[in-house]
Amino acid sequence: MSALAEALPLAVSFDFLTAWDFWIGVGVLAGVYGIFTLGLQLNVGYTGIINFGQAGFMAMGAYSAIILIVDLGIPTVFALLLSTLITMAAGLLIGVSSLRLRADYFAIATIAFAEIIRLTARNARDLTGGNQGTISIELDNDRFYTDGWFEISNWVRDNLLDPIGLGGSEFGSLPLLILVWGVLALLVVVLNRLIATPWGRVLRAVREDEDAARALGKNAVAYKLQSLAIASALGATSGWLLALSLESVNQDVFDPLFTFIGYGILVLGGLASFAGVMVGSVILWTVLEGMRFLDLPLAADKVAALRFVLVGLILILLMAFRPQGIFGKREEMVIGD
Amino acid sequence: MEAGTVQVEGRAGIVRRAAGAAGARPGATALVILTLLAVILAAAYGINSFAQTSVNGVISGSYIALGAIGLTLVYGILKLVNFAHGDMLTFGAYVALLFNVTIGLPLVVALLVAIVATAAIGVLLELAMWRPMRRKGAGMLQLLLMAIGLAFVLRNGIQIAAGTQPQRLDVNVTTSIEFLGLSIGRTELIVVVVGIAVLLGVALMVRHSSLGRQMRALSDNFDLAETTGIDTGRVVIITWILAAGLAGLAGVLVVAAQGRLSPNTGFFLLLPMFAAVILGGIGNVYGALAGGMVIGLSQEWTTLFWATEWKVVVSFAVLILVLIVRPQGIFGQERTL
């Protein structure tokens, strides 16, 4: 067997199937980017606005919460509430200024916004820690944004998980996985309800035919703004959860390119389906992270590049041959022209 | 219905007022603002350091403009927002690197090979991807995401093939020419001269030749151009040869001027190029030239009072500002909105 494995450059090791900590990590990522992509789904799939700046909202949510907690010592719950409001305000500001633009201009404006946020996070070192990451401002203030969560997480591990035999170190991130997927599932239920309300129907009317919605006396711009504000709040939520899982963040984890991981999830799961986002996220992250276990004859940075080649191919092939995605509804696919 | 109409007019009115006097003669107004800025900066920071940053601005402006031409032609004629255009620059630069450094041919030969190879890629992608998608009547989101997918594949494919190590072309980056107390690298001077000469050549061609008229006809109204007997297939192919070939040239010039090349080089120029395109009005070659210069100059002028690391942020801010105040660009007409 081992001789065979050596003979095959592409041999796969099967140890990974039992690497619990690894798969819990994949699950956390899938959940975080699932929440991230719910915002894109609301914008693209249900409202027909092309938001390319979701990574910027993610960054704003994470950084503003961390700065509020670490620098100003505001209790975590209030900090999270405040950071969500700040991010929504940013979303509204971008919407008010740019939503009247053509869809392609709006896409470019939002990606420029996300890049401005990333570069500001890199350059404003006193505030964000810059390249060093937020750990440097945490050490300066001797206050860590993860403290509150670790207390809860440890309590859950000692009192709930240990008794059922899941207390080992390989299950260390299990409470976070439960939290992330609990939030994601809750949001999917809430968003599905929301879309079924009269408000949701107007949203879809705006997507199908903005002028017709206007003719019926609906303020289309106001609906688009609300859609964008909710998406930015979802981005902020995912940013906070990502920060919890990474324990210190720098600007690179919010690269605008990650918005397109979200689009990969979106088109895999299908347009106009919130549940599809969950499936798409699990598929994409399993494939992306699972590639680590392929014994490829490549250096680590090249394997990382190969993952993005894969995301690119997924986007190209799905858009060419199945633009509504795997679970998307063809009749709900209005993606601009 | 009436309320909706009034609202639309109300917003347009706000935009017009925000643009101020720019409404009447936007080109002249922009020039006046730029001159005013120049005088203020020269007075505040001394004529010499102002002139030196201006020289640097013209250098980066010339390759941004050169890259922006291809972007604006494809955007105008095919209504394709080519997010992969930056990576076409990178591709050209790596082809030149291969022939210049690895194989050891003179830079001029490597440059020609790079232009031909990049043009060939452009045509290949048109035939394999963009033309079939146009025939299918693909929507905007489909094309946007395919272009982004293509950008991922190109950039990370290059990274897998060539690695992430910054590379250098075999050019002289140390000799510089001094005049009137200003200094410009010998290679940089060549880059500016070649860049601007090619830019003006292309602009004259698009303005005055029969081919250029056909291209502008396609840009105005593709279907109408086709019914008047223009061989649109041929014009589109020539457009790609021009756009991609110029991207290859721009890529080599960027690397010659900056002195280093990495797989991200072209991608980092994408948003500045978009800024130049939108500033100049989509499809407008002279506009791309002027827009590129404005972006290059404003980036370098910023270094007079802010740290260098902020200069890219300025071009993104200019991009968003232009989109908000005058989305049709300085030279664009109202109809391009």
Q: pLDDT digit string (tens) for B194-222?
A: 999 998 998 888 888 888 888 888 888 88
CA distance A161 to A156: 6
Q: What is the mean pLDDT of residues A174-198?
A: 95
Which residues, numbered 50 to 69 in chain B, qualify as contacts with chain A under a Cβ-Cβ cut-off of 8 Å? none
Q: Which residue has the tokens 């510089």?
A: B176
- pTM, two decimals, is 0.88
CA distance B128 to B113: 22
CA distance B265 to B247: 12
CA-based nearest residue in chain B for residue A305:
B156
CA-based nearest residue in chain B for residue A105:
B323
Q: Would an 8 Å CB–CB cutoff place B159 in contact with chain A?
A: yes
Residue A260 predicted with pLDDT over 70: yes
Inter-chain CB proximity A123 and B316 less than 8 Å: no
CA distance B126 to B240: 7
Inter-chain CB proximity B148 and A312 less than 8 Å: yes
**Structural domain contains residue B6:** no
Contacts of A124 in chain B (CB under 8 A): none
pLDDT value, residue A136: 87
DSSP letters spanning B149-182? HHHHHHHHHHHHHH-SS-B--S---S-EEEETTE
In terms of pLDDT, which residue wins out, B79 or A180?
A180
**Structural domain contains residue B11:** no
Q: Give me the residues paired with residue A12 across strands.
A: A294
Inter-chain CB proximity B1 and A263 less than 8 Å: no
Reported confidence tier of residue B175, pLDDT bands at 50, 70, 90? confident
- For residue B49, count other CB atoms closer than 10 A to its CB: 15
Cβ atoms B48, B181 nearer than 8 A: yes
Nearest residue, CB atoms, A315 vs list B146, B157, B312:
B146
Reported confidence tier of residue A333, pLDDT bands at 50, 70, 90? low
Per-residue model confidence as pLDDT tens digits over A218-230? 888 899 999 999 9
Provide the residue range defining the domain that includes B296: 45-336
Reported confidence tier of residue A21, pLDDT bands at 50, 70, 90? confident
- For residue B178, count other CB atoms closer than 10 A to its CB: 8
**Structural domain contains residue B234:** yes
Distance from B324 to chain A by nearest Cα, in Å?
A: 6
Q: What is the mean pLDDT of residues B54-70?
A: 91
**Structural domain contains residue B53:** yes
Residue B76 predicted with pLDDT over 80: yes
In terms of pLDDT, which residue wins out, B228 or A67?
A67
Per-residue model confidence as pLDDT tens digits over A261-314? 999 999 999 888 999 999 999 999 999 888 877 767 777 778 888 888 999 999
Q: Which residue has the tokens 């190969």?
A: A306
Alpha helices in chain A (DSSP H): 2-7, 20-40, 54-70, 76-98, 103-123, 125-128, 135-141, 147-156, 174-196, 198-208, 210-215, 220-246, 258-269, 274-290, 300-321
Residue B123 predicted with pLDDT over 70: yes
CA distance B99 to B110: 5
pLDDT value, residue A53: 94
Average pLDDT, chain A: 87
A30: amino acid identity, one letter: A
Reported confidence tier of residue A326, pLDDT bands at 50, 70, 90? confident
Reported confidence tier of residue A5, pLDDT bands at 50, 70, 90? very low
pLDDT value, residue B246: 94
Residue B93 predicted with pLDDT over 70: yes
**Structural domain contains residue B185:** yes
Q: Would an 8 Å CB–CB cutoff place B310 in contact with chain A?
A: yes
Nearest residue, CB atoms, B148 vs list A113, A217, A315:
A315
Distance from B234 to chain A by nearest Cα, in Å?
A: 23
Reported confidence tier of residue B321, pLDDT bands at 50, 70, 90? confident
**Chain-centroid distance, C-alpha B19:** 24
**Chain-centroid distance, C-alpha A40:** 9
**Chain-centroid distance, C-alpha A228:** 15
Contacts of B324 in chain A (CB under 8 A): 97-98
Per-residue model confidence as pLDDT tens digits over B245-281? 999 999 999 998 888 888 888 888 999 999 999 888 8
pLDDT value, residue B332: 62
pLDDT value, residue B25: 66
pLDDT value, residue A137: 87
- For residue B128, count other CB atoms closer than 10 A to its CB: 10
Which residues, numbered 239 to 278 in chain B, qualify as contacts with chain A under a Cβ-Cβ cut-off of 8 Å? 263, 271, 274-275, 278
Inter-chain CB proximity A260 and B320 less than 8 Å: no
pLDDT value, residue B24: 54
Cβ atoms A67, A121 nearer than 8 A: no
| Structure letter (DSSP) for residue B102 | I
Distance from A303 to chain B by nearest Cα, in Å?
A: 8
Q: Any idea what the CATH number is for the domain that residue B158 is in? A: 1.10.3470
**Residue B263 tokens, joined:** 């797989």
In terms of pLDDT, which residue wins out, B205 or B175?
B205
Inter-chain CB proximity B149 and A111 less than 8 Å: no
- B interface mutation test: which of A54, A105, A313 has the most B CBs within 10 A? A105
Residue B167 predicted with pLDDT over 90: no
Q: Which residue has the tokens 């809750």?
A: A186
**Structural domain contains residue B10:** no
In terms of pLDDT, which residue wins out, A205 or B5?
A205
Residue A173 predicted with pLDDT over 70: yes
CA distance A73 to B125: 54
**A14 sits in which H/E element:** none
CA distance A85 to A37: 19
pLDDT value, residue A14: 59
Nearest residue, CB atoms, A119 vs list B4, B7, B312:
B312
Q: What is the mean pLDDT of residues B93-121?
A: 91
Residue B11 predicted with pLDDT over 80: no
Inter-chain CB proximity A316 and B159 less than 8 Å: no
Inter-chain CB proximity B4 and A214 less than 8 Å: yes
Q: With pLDDT > 90 as the criterion, what percentage of chain B qualifies?
A: 33
Reported confidence tier of residue A15, pLDDT bands at 50, 70, 90? low
pLDDT value, residue A8: 45
Distance from A253 to chain B by nearest Cα, in Å?
A: 17
- A interface mutation test: which of B145, B222, B335 has the most A CBs within 10 A? B145
Inter-chain CB proximity A323 and B148 less than 8 Å: no
CA-based nearest residue in chain A for residue B129:
A320
**Structural domain contains residue B26:** no
3-class state of residue B184 by DSSP: strand
CA distance B254 to B93: 8
pLDDT value, residue A316: 94
CA distance B71 to B87: 12
**Structural domain contains residue B204:** yes
Q: Give me the residues paired with residue B176 across strands.
A: B185
Inter-chain CB proximity A311 and B3 less than 8 Å: no
Q: How many domains does chain B have?
A: 1
Q: With pLDDT > 90 as the criterion, what percentage of chain A qualifies?
A: 50
